[in-house]
Structure 1
Amino acid sequence: MKNFFLFAMVALLVSSCQNDDSSADSSFSMKASGADYTGYPATVQTVSGAITTNTTWTNDKVWEIDGVITVKDGAKLTIQPGTFIKAKPLAPGVATGVLVITKSGQIDAQGTAAAPVVFTSYNLLDGNANTVAAPGDFGGVVVLGNAEVNNGLTTNIVEGLDDQANFSEFYYGGTNNAHNAGSLTYVRIEFAGRILDTDIEINGLTFAGVGNGTVVNHIQVSYGRDDSYEFFGGTVNATHLVSFAADDDNFDFDLGYTGSITKAIAIADSNSTHSLSGGNPDSNGIELDNNAGGTVTTLITRPVISQLSIIGVSSSTVAALYENAIHVRRAGKISLTDATVTGYKTGIRWESPSVPGGSTWLRVSIHGFDNPLLPAGTVLGGIGNATSTVNPATKWSLSQPFFNDGALNFTGTTGAFKTEANWTSNWTKFTNF
């Protein structure tokens, strides 16, 4: 397995929090040879264009996406457990390795804990131990649907594909909140992302107008070039989500998303890349908007999130690489239950007119090196809520949650693990690539 180091920080920052993670808890290492990069098939099958009939990608090949693949016209793409998918390298700036499930298509990617479906860098599947992976080596997975979006439009063009010729293939939004785009279970997406321009990017996994008939659980997105997950409107529910080492935001919600997220964890890696806005840190655990203009609409962005852990870094010095653990702004709202947040300068930042009316919380523990809660004076009243400003960061009953401080160990019944201990075992990957 290759060693992988992304854009190392200056020595002061690294030495303040970085320890070798090679001794990571075995529950977080890959145990199934079928999901290890030394065991991928030798045969490569290149695919391109549109999928318009039911199609299966089998696990006896590595599937190479040439450009942008669309699944449409009632077709379903089935991906077998243990299948590897990579992008075909193209000219700089050209979209490649992008899988789009359109409004009229479906996906059935059902991996297992022993054999997840893996979208990853071509540099990890080339048989060359000297090549290394980087964010943007794979384009991303985009799922589109007919569920409600709060601008009322059915012709929204998904972000990051604005330069493509057939705009209508990338429309999302509608009136069918029960829309079913298929199933994504036990899937890893690594080194994804495409940057077209400021605020025009493809994320690791994008849901746009996707309805609650869609099944989403046990997903890990790692080392993305932009956000790990972004939800543009829709009602899709998801469980058991892992975001690791995101360049920008771990979870991003906007345009009226009202689904539920249950059992989710975001883990920062100080050695990954970090997005900037105007030269200032712009990476958040959660970023949430009602819409870009901050206008109040009939349908308000309000994800319902329970059993959540957002884990930054243990050092206040290294925390300067990031912005907020949770940023609720532009008229958006949030519901939090059984959430633990630690390792960011600011725990929860509410911006007007989101402050914080319409948002709810229960059994929430928030740490922030500078401020657990902004604006100053905001309180989380009620039983089971707590705040902290200590340095090093509060662990909130987890044994060792900070990736750069040694062996990962999520022992404890808090946040993402309140009712199910170590559900990340076996199918996830946290070691250096």
Structure 2
Amino acid sequence: MRKLSLILFAMMSLTGCRQNDSVTDASTPFEMKSAAAEYITASSLPVTTVSGSITTNTTWSGVIELDGVVTVKNGATLTIRPGTFIKGKINFNYNPNGVLVITKTGRINATGTETQPIIFTSSNLLDGNEDTTARPGDFGGVILLGDAPTNKPSTTVIEGLTGADYQYGGTNAGQNAGILKYVRIEFAGYDLLGPNSGNEINGLSLGGVGHGTTLDHIQVSYSLDDSFEFFGGTVNATNLISFGAQDDNYDFEYGYKGTISCALALADYNSGHSYSQGGSSPDSNGIELDNDGTGSSAFPFTQPILKNFTIIGAKSPLKSGLYENGVHVRRNGKLSLENTVITGYPIGILLETISGASVNLADYSFTNVQSHGFTFATASKIGASSSALNIPGITASTANPAHLWGMAQPFFNESFAWNVSPRNCGDFKGNWTKYDFSIVE
């Protein structure tokens, strides 16, 4: 157990910390500890457990425990104050360990700050016991839904859940699901039907979310599935970080059309790694993109505009074998990629066709892209065969060790200090981020 003296020290270091805020009390200001005291301080605070549906305006602060799936609907707005911790109650038999869903009829206002981010995390980091360990799947995940366009029926239910409350899609491109700003989501992920069912909850899932929504400074770390998955919609986002994802860092499908500016995908060799069905080959990508699961011509086509992405795999070919591709576009997906670097994957950029057709470069736009891959920097895949492909707008490298593309030391697990400068566009090492999840500080 954690030494009492550590807790007492952390508690004395607080200034004006409120420990008894009601989850619906929005009348008084809220102050939380400094970022340096995060988990050790929060483990000493009282916990409010929440379950079921939220149908009236509600405010959270302090430490919140989600019991099962918590659903915000019927016009309600959930406000989460800066410095709030949200953890999942551990359940069994494939019941989720806390999932927060903002439905089409709900809204969220989760506006943290650089020094007081809002943190969704593992209960094992907040239990006051230094012998327990946080693992992917300890927290279910965060889901935002809206009625913006997708290429699926508007009765489609978000992956990982069942029921009419969890439908998404429509015709309202400007839909506003609210705000997520300075938010960390850690150790999330959930599989509805069991391992590798293909029906999982991600760190942050966005279904039919419109461009009236604000997504800014969001970090997803050690997700059991994808860090970020966009199921259609038109939402834009800035300053995103995916760290140590078990599956894909960024996944787009079902007609997503939006712009994401300034994003990092950072591999951790020590995280879990996903494999294709049967466990025969790695299945983790920096970016994965499909029009839909069958490669149909359903409209609108999935075609994100991605700007200033930094996608970091492994320094050596041996470690890169834990992953698949830096960018994998397949199943009739389209892509615009600007000012982006990719390094440390077996294949940097892979364009995969359907029905044996040749790659149509008119479906893509690459501007000022630098791509490294140990096997191919840029390639096409027709059927089961991949081969090198020259793509305009891309500077290519197959160097060993992996190309740095002007960055100081971008590989997280190497002996020298990790540093992606000068590509630190989103303050990737700022006070709001965290890459060391030790609970003793």
TM-score by length of 1: 0.88
**Alignment match of 2:409 (pick from 400, 421, 425):** 400
Could you tell me how far apart the structure 2 residues matched to 1:321 and 1:105 are?
Answer: 39
Cα separation, partners in 2 of 1:55 and 1:324, compared to 1, 3 Å: same
User: Offset of 1:421 from its aligned partner?
Assistant: 7.0
The question of 1:148 aligning with 2:158 is answered no
Partner SS for 1:374: strand
Cα deviations across residues 263-294 of structure 1 (Å, max 9, x unaligned)?
A: 00000001110001132110000010000110
**1:284–1:323 CA contact under 8 A, matched in 2:** yes
Cα deviations across residues 388-425 of structure 1 (Å, max 9, x unaligned)?
A: 0011101111101100003211222x4xx4xx474541
Q: Find the counterpart in structure 2 of residue 191 from structure 1.
A: 187
Could you tell me how far apart the structure 2 residues matched to 1:159 and 1:338 are?
Answer: 31
**2:160–2:200 CA contact under 8 A, matched in 1:** yes
User: Offset of 1:91 from its aligned partner?
Assistant: 1.8
**1:411–1:421 CA contact under 8 A, matched in 2:** no
**1:34–1:82 CA contact under 8 A, matched in 2:** no
Partner SS for 1:103: coil
User: Offset of 1:432 from its aligned partner?
Assistant: 4.3
Q: Find the counterpart in structure 2 of residue 113 from structure 1.
A: 114
**1:237–1:260 CA contact under 8 A, matched in 2:** yes
Cα deviations across residues 298-320 of structure 1 (Å, max 9, x unaligned)?
A: 31000100000000010100111
* Count of matched residue positions in the alignment of Structure 1 and Structure 2: 391
Q: Find the counterpart in structure 2 of residue 20 from structure 1.
A: none
User: Offset of 1:36 from its aligned partner?
Assistant: 1.5
* Unmatched 5+ stretches in structure 2: 3-32, 381-386
User: Offset of 1:349 from its aligned partner?
Assistant: 0.6
What is the letter of the counterpart of residue 93 of structure 1? Y
Within 5 Å, give how 1:380-419 maps onto structure 2.
380-382=391-393, 385-406=394-415, 407-412=417-422, 414=423, 417=424
Bigger-Rg structure (1/2): 2
Within 5 Å, give how 1:290-301 maps onto structure 2.
290-301=291-302
Could you tell me how far apart the structure 1 residues matched to 2:41 and 2:103 are?
Answer: 32
Q: Find the counterpart in structure 2 of residue 315 from structure 1.
A: 316
Within 5 Å, give how 1:26-425 maps onto structure 2.
32-33=34-35, 36-40=38-42, 41-58=44-61, 61-151=62-152, 153-162=153-162, 167-197=163-193, 198-277=197-276, 278-279=278-279, 280-353=281-354, 355-375=360-380, 376-382=387-393, 385-406=394-415, 407-412=417-422, 414=423, 417=424, 420=425, 422-425=427-430
TM-score by length of 2: 0.86
User: Offset of 1:44 from its aligned partner?
Assistant: 0.4
Partner SS for 1:127: coil
User: Offset of 1:379 from its aligned partner?
Assistant: 1.6
Q: Which has the higher contact order (CA 8 A, sep 6+)?
A: 1
**1:350–1:356 CA contact under 8 A, matched in 2:** no
Partner SS for 1:242: strand
Partner SS for 1:142: strand
Cα deviations across residues 334-360 of structure 1 (Å, max 9, x unaligned)?
A: 100000000000001111146443110
**2:241–2:428 CA contact under 8 A, matched in 1:** no
- The Cα RMSD (Å) is 1.6
* Unmatched 5+ stretches in structure 1: 3-30
Could you tell me how far apart the structure 1 residues matched to 2:127 and 2:60 are?
Answer: 19
Partner SS for 1:340: strand
Partner SS for 2:374: coil
